[in-house]
Structure 1
Amino acid sequence: MIKIAINGFGRIGRTTLRRLIDAYPGKLQLVAVNDLTDKANIVYLLKYDTVYKTFNGFLKETEKGFLVGRTEKDAQEVIVTAERDPRNLKWGELGVDIVIEATGFFANKAGAQLHLDAGAKKVIISAPGGNDVKTIVYNVNHTDLTKDDKIISAASCTTNSIAPLVAFMDKEFGIEVGKLTTVHAYTGNQAIVDAPAKKDIRRGRAGAQNIIPSSTGAAKAIGLVVKNVSGFLDGAALRVPVVAGSVSDLTLVLKTKGLTAEKINETMKKYSNESFGYNEDQIVSSDILGSTYGAILDATLTKVNHGRDGHELVTVAAWYDNEMSFVSQLVRLIIHVAELS
């Protein structure tokens, strides 16, 4: 059995464990969690979740960590540590095959290397990892991986939401240029009440009360996944007062002209798979909470605007649960990396 450790047990870390227990029992074993939060809080926040509700399984705090499983009979112990420096972690002694780096503090090649130095065999960063780290979106470019890749980025939730659309639209119709707007749920790096912010001053405003214009690196990062469009996409984010559930809106100029919304939808539907869903219902953000698709094309939002002199603007949109959708893609990637090894 492949042994997994998670460094950083926040929203992504806890949701990853829930997904492992729900969908892949007996395939991957979580052996350790490292987080600076005390053990009681770790167990409490895993058990009770505002978005995904009470944990549907067995969970019990122990002296070294906690027992977790679908039932008490199949529960296994997860060791909990609280090390600030990854070099002090005992990944080698625990036999860890893959570390999920989910703190946000070690989301680059040098930071991930610290886990390898501590004895882990491979590291998957649950965030963009920089230009010198192979960036993978499962079911888009995961075949680029080899067994020799030791540090991998799973990109971001937003990159996972647009990568299938960008890849398939470019393959079928050719993308000349485009712009992304992601309407994104607020996250833990935003303020609950107005407060000073160091980098993005608007993110210091109350996240649950405002629509907050912000930046996103997803449009540029897509060039690391779909290299054919590198440099041709840009984007922005609107952080909105919902706890989870987001939508990415892509406006594109395509090489192929004379398209209709029906033709685009018909073509995209053929690409639907476990990572890329297709929807024709009039859904809203709460309807996709818990979705395991990395992205869900909303066919009702596909538009083709015909302008002067044959110019056309095409709009396509994809829903995604910015936590569970991304985590589902992350776990698929973990399994793929394990199988390669």
Structure 2
Amino acid sequence: MASDKKIKIGINGFGRIGRLVARISLQRDDVELVAINDPFITTDYMLQITVHGSPSSLFTPRNCPLPTHYTLSLSKVYGFYSVRECKSRRFRRRSNNKDETSFFVLNAPPTYMFKYDTVHGQWKHHEVKVKDEKTLLFGEKSVTVFGIRNPEEIPWGETGADFVVESTGVFTDKDKAAAHLKGGAKKVVISAVSKDAPMFVVGVNEKEYKPELDIVSNASCTTNCLATLAKVINDRFGIVEGLMTTVHSITATQKTVDGPSKKDWRGGRAASFNIIPSSTGAAKAVGKVLPALNGKLTGMSIRVPTVDVSVVDVTVRLEKAATYDEIKAAIKEESEGKLKGILGYTEDDVVSTDFVGDSRSSIFDAKAGIALNGNFVKLVAWYDNEWGYSCRVIDLIVHIASVKA
């Protein structure tokens, strides 16, 4: 793909990650959002949930410098919001105008979902409105919306989408995600850990990407946070073994009130009233992006009643003894060098809401960690599990597009 051309992106699933990838795409000048697919959202509702939200009245992410003009092509989007919240509708893309952005008509009001966001605030970068049942307008840019359930039937090729962001949480293995290729997409990036698709974490192993790989995973938000920190520690001091806990904000899979949960009984308890121990594959996934750590890390999750921003607490045994000050210095050096914009460093007395809208994958909290001795240390790193991760999805796409066959 030519480096001087904007990368056309489609989004499949307009849930939390799908919507934020759309927001980021519309602010960047190296990508073009062309289409969204979600079978459960109509255009007017989609717009609303993308533009508005709280606690921020105006969406202005910190630490995420972006060009003022972004054109993003979204070939496919799934999961804008819960199936229960919308009526089933289906629309077909109609436009051969190459200047128009292609969006899929969703079964619930997409405009509402784009305009409003409880965490990241209202969208005020463009006037966003519904042109018709098949088209959204971002300023003067039209975007076609589809509402197709079967990914094989989504006409990504007609929209010109080079990449599809698979963000439904459903098509996370290679065979299922490959359905997008049948619709004309050239590459698929899964916004979740995959059991068989190659996983890449920007700042850690993205340079290992090969152009023959058409389906890849951006891993998870927690894996992005942990792997970034773990790479620095392992490169500088060596990791013998470690245990991780992520204290994680509420996600869409949790319940507002107590309800049935077949596999995870604790997960069925009310999210806003409980601290809920849970499982996570994030630590083990680090071994897939950093083979040197395969089998050396595992961990768990504790879900807490906050709406965004999570924190990784990792305790590791080091091969090479080091003082806590030496560890801090190494992390700070990397955060100001080749990992700038990916890894952060702070000595401020921060709390979780201080990182809402932070685009970095991992922000090391120098005051929160502690060392027992030279070989046994606990490290703490914050991450906006929504915004930071979504920034990395786009960064990975841009990197892949830059790799020549």
TM-score, normalised relative to structure 1: 0.94
Return the letter of the residue paired with 1:160. Answer: N
Tell me the C-alpha RMSD between the 2 structures.
Answer: 1.1
Quote the residue 1:41 is aligned against: 45
Q: Does 1:62 align with 2:131?
A: yes
Of 18, 27, 33, the match for 1:30: 33
Quote the residue 1:11 is aligned against: 16
Deviations 1:186-217 (A, max 9, x none): 00000001000122211111111110000010
Quote the residue 2:151 is aligned against: 86
Return the letter of the residue paired with 1:317. Answer: V
Retained in 2: the 8 A contact 1:183–1:246?
yes
Quote the residue 2:50 is aligned against: none
Quote the residue 1:241 is aligned against: 305
Retained in 2: the 8 A contact 1:6–1:33?
yes
Return the letter of the residue paired with 2:148. Answer: E
Quote the residue 2:58 is aligned against: none
Return the letter of the residue paired with 2:171. Answer: F
Of 165, 170, 173, the match for 2:237: 173
More helix by share: 1
Q: Does 1:219 align with 2:288?
A: no
Of 189, 192, 210, the match for 1:124: 189
Return the letter of the residue paired with 1:192. Answer: T
Deviations 1:17-46 (A, max 9, x none): 111223x13x21111100122222211011
Quote the residue 1:305 is aligned against: 372
Quote the residue 1:51 is aligned against: 119
Q: Does 1:279 align with 2:346?
A: yes
1:321-332 matches, within 5 Å, as 321-332=384-395
Cα distance in 2 for partners of 1:67, 1:141 equals 37
Quote the residue 1:296 is aligned against: 363
SS at match of 2:292: helix
1:130-141 matches, within 5 Å, as 130=195, 132-141=196-205
Q: Would you say how many aligned residue pairs link Structure 1 and Structure 2?
A: 328
Compute the displacement of 1:148 (Å): 1.7
Cα distance in 2 for partners of 1:84, 1:188 equals 20
Return the letter of the residue paired with 2:45. Answer: N
> Any runs of at least 4 consecutive aligned residues in structure 1 with deviations exceeding 2 A, and if so which?
none
Return the letter of the residue paired with 2:116. Answer: Y
Retained in 1: the 8 A contact 2:320–2:375?
no
Compute the displacement of 1:263 (Å): 0.7
5+ unaligned residues in a row in structure 1: which ranges? Answer: none
Return the letter of the residue paired with 2:172. Answer: A
Of 324, 330, 333, the match for 1:270: 333
Quote the residue 1:100 is aligned against: 165
Cα distance in 2 for partners of 1:199, 1:104 equals 17
* Percent identical: 42
Cα distance in 1 for partners of 2:141, 2:261 equals 41
Return the letter of the residue paired with 1:6. Answer: I
Return the letter of the residue paired with 1:61. Answer: V
SS at match of 2:247: strand
Retained in 2: the 8 A contact 1:265–1:302?
no
